[in-house]
Chains A and B, each alone.
Chain A
């Protein structure tokens, strides 16, 4: 009935493993909590201990205390890039590689490089440094973590465009929370320590609302605890490995059975959210995760081009998050999915509630209900976009 015509197996990275070199991420919940300050303070300590350390990129934002903290540290000059009549300053990765410090400080991991740069994202530059054996200390805010993109949107109403994939953060040896109270942060903002006055006013009306900040702070604390837990589990299994102990010998083993998660990929825009959720669940459960789409048997052109493009984009997104992808052929999407799930010992199927594209019309309207009906032996999770809703009961 269905056949698998595309296989993509990404090499899974384990927690805290990034080759020989080490990545340390300072995680905050907003601009101004003190990530850069803390990172530079640590750089100064390392320097005092005689370590070879250089600053590859740091963003002073005109903050007096931060600038003072950088005094005496070696700064590798930035690269000046001309683009569309303006000039931009970017981290000079080539210069860092030739200077080759033992440890390099790189601020603002989620930064997007100006078009025409060798790599489009700063985290990709950091990867190059790590691959070259340079330890990196870097900073980012919680809202830039890819898998939390939807949750952050739900909290703040702001769709963050610059994201760092979870697998990259996962490869860090350490993730450290840089905490500050929301009150202190708002005071810093009012004093003009974070942004210039006009921008500060705008910031306070939008992202820097107290409720937003408080929710993001909680998110960052929980995420740091979670990152720590993942590393503990990974190091515990690492410890067990040499003795060849069966995993069942450990009573604290986090899971008895191996979960396998299937994320249904269609053209609908909510698919990106679904893939993020799948990735996140898989990380929590230590599960395998597949992103699966179904195309009509033989005649692919029955799908509108824009739908095909959207699916291709979603599958690509899944690969970027290190989720395995499969494209199945079948005329009945529900049947094809359930059949694939059975043959691959899938334990959980993730579907999105918003599914009203021409895609689902093509396959019959109620794909969700059909899958629920067919897959009685599999857990089916219908994922909603988290927004506040206005439910009115049918019976008063």
Chain B
């Protein structure tokens, strides 16, 4: 049971919130163009945005570029001011002191995931960016999926390769105000890289790129989902609301839990949704029933469900109350397998649940 006063922030929390907001206001804003491979058009989109901002009168400066650009980008660069990077042998790094002295409103940095040459004040480029943000300069930058520490394992599973650099988990979560996904078909990004000669290798490569592309889209979607939730919370809407599916599987000692649980898991995965399993406490369970129930709940936990034991005089009320609290979109229930009077009681409960679950889909599973 959620207590209303527990949702109201304490004075300390409010103060911390205000300090955070003040700090945020002084800080520059970070906008990240996220792509899944080289050649999807991140640099173009970023530099073109810089050009448009400059034409609108914003003070925009380019602080880091990539070594080679196609014609459409070369057409933009002359229309932007560039602060040359520092060169150390083959590698380049941002001239942070020069940028801070020049103090533009917006710094464009093509390629966030670089290590700085040894001996640089900051070992990583993302630390340079942090420094610029702290100095009140907004940064627009580009990054590929595989350089995010958060996604390294997943990317490695797809590509079999581990990226040499990484942006730490916390950096994007806490610093990035905006994230934009740069999407393009895998076949097009393939044309930019070294294209494998034989057809099978090419198809395999295209398949890998497609999976990375899907990952980029879903990562962006989940970032957006968090934004939506915090927006709604800050506007006093506490009910989870959006495009995510939230699935609640109701188990009883005798429901065919395995099929429902597996299906719930699959559905939640497919829709990138949340997956809950609930059991409403019943009095006087036989030992056998308790064992089966335990087995079902263990299996639910194994499948990664958030398991809730509910109590209440009325099972249907308890389930629906929980469902509305969590913003459940689908309830899975099973026909009971039990014979006799209890079955009639259960089927009566199923009927009532169907009747009362306004706004929620009810999925009744066969034996």
Contact = CB atoms under 8 A, between A and B. Distances in A.
Given A176-B183, A177-B183, A232-B211, A218 B225 contact: yes
Contacts of B171: none
Given A177-B181, A388-B241, A372 B272 contact: no
Contacts, number: 154
Contacts of B312: 395
Interface string A352-396: 010000000000000011001101111111111111110101110
Interface stretch (B4-12, B93-101, B277-285, B356-364): B356-364
A211 B235 contact: yes
A383 B211 CA distance: 32
Interface in A253-301: 284
Interface stretch (B15-23, B79-87, B213-221): B213-221
A306 B320 CA distance: 36
Interface string B265-279: 000001110000000
Contacts of B44: 41
Interface of A: 24, 41, 44-45, 48, 65, 151, 155, 174, 176-184, 191, 210-211, 214-215, 217-219, 221-222, 224-225, 228-229, 231-232, 235-236, 239, 284, 353, 368-369, 372-373, 375-389, 391, 393-395
Given A215-B228, A219-B243, A239-B203, A388 B221 contact: no
A376 B366 contact: yes
Contacts of B272: 222
B217 A379 contact: no
Contacts of B187: 174
A174 B320 contact: no
A181 B31 contact: yes
B365 A379 contact: yes
Nearest to B237: A211
Q: Which 9 A-B pairs have the closest CB atoms?
A: A221-B221, A389-B359, A225-B217, A389-B358, A177-B183, A393-B317, A181-B178, A218-B224, A214-B228
B220 A179 contact: yes
Given A176-B183, A225-B214, A386 B225 contact: no
Contact of B363 (A218, A224, A380, A395): A380
B313 to A, nearest CB: 5
B354 A379 contact: no
B52 A65 contact: yes
B33 to A, nearest CB: 9
20 contacts: A24-B185, A174-B185, A178-B183, A181-B180, A182-B227, A191-B56, A211-B228, A211-B232, A222-B272, A224-B183, A228-B214, A232-B211, A235-B207, A353-B354, A353-B358, A368-B354, A380-B363, A389-B324, A389-B358, A391-B358
B224 A221 contact: yes
B45 to A, nearest CB: 9
A156 to B, nearest CB: 12
Contact of A232 (B183, B184, B207): B207
B361 A382 contact: yes
Contacts of A210: 231
Contacts of A24: 185
Given A65-B52, A151-B243, A384-B360, A391 B324 contact: yes
B217 A372 contact: no
Interface in B288-322: 312-314, 317, 320-321
Given A222-B272, A384-B357, A45 B72 contact: yes
B335 interface: yes
**Which residue, of B183, B324, B329, has the highest number of chain A Cβ atoms within 10 A?**
B183
Contacts of B207: 232, 235-236
A204 to B, nearest CB: 15
Contacts of A386: 329, 359
A368 B365 CA distance: 14
A98 to B, nearest CB: 30
Contacts of A181: 31, 178-180
B51 to A, nearest CB: 10
Contacts of B243: 151, 155, 215, 218-219, 222
Contact of B180 (A180, A239, A368, A394): A180
A179 B181 contact: yes
A24 B224 CA distance: 25
Contacts of B347: 373
Contact of B354 (A184, A229, A369): A369
Given A376-B367, A393-B317, 19 more contacts: A151-B243, A155-B243, A177-B181, A211-B235, A214-B231, A215-B228, A221-B220, A222-B218, A222-B272, A224-B217, A225-B218, A225-B221, A353-B358, A368-B354, A372-B351, A380-B364, A382-B363, A395-B313, A395-B314
A284 B31 CA distance: 33
Contact of A388 (B181, B239, B354, B364): B239
Given A222-B272, A224-B217, A395-B312, A211 B184 contact: no
Interface in B206-261: 207, 210-211, 213-214, 217-218, 220-221, 224-225, 227-228, 231-232, 235, 239, 241-243
B346 to A, nearest CB: 12
Contact of A211 (B203, B214, B225, B231): B231
A221 B31 contact: no
Nearest to B347: A373
B321 A391 contact: yes
Contacts of A224: 183, 217
A44 B75 CA distance: 13
B270 A284 contact: yes
B133 to A, nearest CB: 17
A219 B217 CA distance: 11
Nearest to B312: A395
A225 B217 CA distance: 6
A236 B203 CA distance: 10
Contact of A387 (B213, B359, B365): B359
B172 interface: no
A151 to B, nearest CB: 7
Nearest to A224: B217
A378 B334 CA distance: 11
A179 B180 CA distance: 6
Contact of A221 (B217, B271, B357, B367): B217
B303 to A, nearest CB: 17
B317 A394 contact: yes
B321 A393 contact: yes
Contacts of A380: 363-364
Contact of A379 (B270, B320, B350, B364): B364
Contacts of A231: 210
Nearest to B187: A174
